[in-house]
Amino acid sequence: MRDDCIFCRIVRQEAHGDIVYQDEEITAFRDINPKAPVHILIVPNRHIPGVFALQPGDESVVGRLFLVARQLAEQEGIAQSGYRLVLNSGPQGGQSVYHLHLHLLGGRPMRWPPG
């Protein structure tokens, strides 16, 4: 946990977040600047700066990000229509918050390639 990390602070509920799911390993909350009708960020509770910082032993937590995404897609009613999962890494990957997070986007058609 890092005091200067906004997602760590949301996980600890020290900063406001619209949390839709939380367990001992994973937290999910609505994006503050949604790019789609459903836009949820799924994060490990533990501070991992990004994909580039993953270590052997992190397989389980990474897998759980996807399983929680699948569960939330069902809860949000977009499992049948489809959705997009996005994980940005580093400056040219468009990462702006350096705490690993999976974007769950849905509720409208997604263009490809993204802009």
Residues 6+ apart with CB under 8 A from 61: 25, 26, 44, 46, 48
Q: Is residue 101 annotated as a catalytic residue, yes or no?
A: yes
Nearer to ligand AMP, 42 or 73 (CB): 42
Nearer to ligand AMP, 57 or 111 (CB): 111
Q: Does 6 bind ligand AMP (CB under 6 A)?
A: yes
User: What distance in Å separates the CA atoms of residue 97 and residue 100, rounded to the nearest whole number?
Assistant: 8
H helix intervals, the chain: 6-11, 59-75
Cβ count near 22 (within 10 Å): 16
Considering only 3, 4, 24, 33, the residue that binds ligand AMP (CB under 6 A) is: 33
Q: What is the closest distance, in whole angstroms, from the C-beta atom of residue 50 to ligand AMP in the complex? A: 9
Distance of CA 79 to the CA centre of its chain: 17
The contact pattern for ligand AMP, residues 11-30, with x = CB under 6 A and - = no contact, is ------x-----------x-
User: What distance in Å separates the CA atoms of residue 72 and residue 46, rounded to the nearest whole number?
Assistant: 20
The contact pattern for ligand AMP, residues 64-93, with x = CB under 6 A and - = no contact, is ------------------------x-----
Q: Does 51 bind ligand AMP (CB under 6 A)?
A: no
Nearer to ligand AMP, 57 or 91 (CB): 91
| Overall size of the chain counted in residues | 115
